[in-house]
Chain A
């Protein structure tokens, strides 16, 4: 097999294998079918052009997902309106834990595998997560995707979005809290927990 054919076969195999992950990440970033496809197409063109810079073929998966993320950050989000205002004040662990999803669901004295919070998670479907992610401001959603979906280190996220690492932590904390609030709302709408219930009321009903 000549070099060109070998490169083509390797690239095609890798992309085919990763297609659903590329599409999933692109959908979470862009929230739109057409934009997701365009983002992947641009990613594939860049990746193909830079394939010689991939030092170890074993690293292909992370390498191409980084190109996707970089492409979104550097080009796509420039086009969005800069109307979003969000609070980038430091926020590491100063959120009131009583507002967390866990605190709302948790019943003391039950083992983890028989708890309401476990049952709640078991009932969560991809669409619930998708909706909750979709409600996050772009700047928050991006860090969640990069950390939770793509598995990037905080330092790498900071470099990609060109903010201090403290800002990454802060956005991540706030994003997670907003995500949990949104999932709590989903649980109430689905009747998993009583609408407008306080924690105590919920516990008394169990």
Chain B
């Protein structure tokens, strides 16, 4: 089956697709296009990798003294 979407259409929905905000039909159409189009596939892989990098920045080693104070707080609950 050939993708009905143009590269421009896929690009306009790509981030929303990667955020799982597209509906099932749109998601399938984009899946199909990415399967067929190397250029859009590469773009999607780049954006996915960048999203993973940003998500990973959300985990930071807690400084030891902060951790101790917060653990002491919980013990008082």
Contacts and interface: CB of A to CB of B under 8 A. Distances in A.
Nearest to A117: B46
B69 A153 contact: no
Contact of B58 (A24, A44, A117): A24
A37 interface: yes
Interface string B19-40: 1110000000000000000010
Interface string A86-105: 00000011000100011000
Given A118-B49, A124-B53, A130-B57, A112 B42 contact: yes
Contacts of A33: 63, 66
Interface string A145-181: 1011111011000000000000001001100100110
B42 A41 contact: no
A19 interface: yes
Interface residues of B, number: 38
A25 B12 contact: no
B13, B21, B39 — most chain A CB neighbours (10 Å)? B21
Nearest to A4: B77
Interface string B57-77: 111111100110111011101
Interface residues of A, number: 55
Interface stretch (A10-18, A55-63, A187-195, A197-205): A10-18
Contacts of B51: 148
Contacts of B77: 8, 11, 44-45, 48
Interface of B: 11-13, 15-16, 19-21, 39, 41-43, 45-47, 49-51, 53-63, 66-67, 69-71, 73-75, 77
6 contacts: A12-B74, A21-B58, A24-B59, A126-B60, A149-B58, A169-B16
Given A28-B58, A93-B12, 19 more contacts: A19-B70, A23-B60, A24-B58, A24-B59, A40-B70, A45-B77, A48-B74, A48-B77, A101-B50, A106-B46, A112-B41, A121-B46, A126-B57, A129-B57, A145-B58, A148-B54, A149-B57, A149-B58, A180-B50
| 7 residue pairs, one from A and one from B, having the closest CB atoms | A149-B58, A93-B12, A24-B60, A129-B57, A23-B62, A148-B54, A24-B59
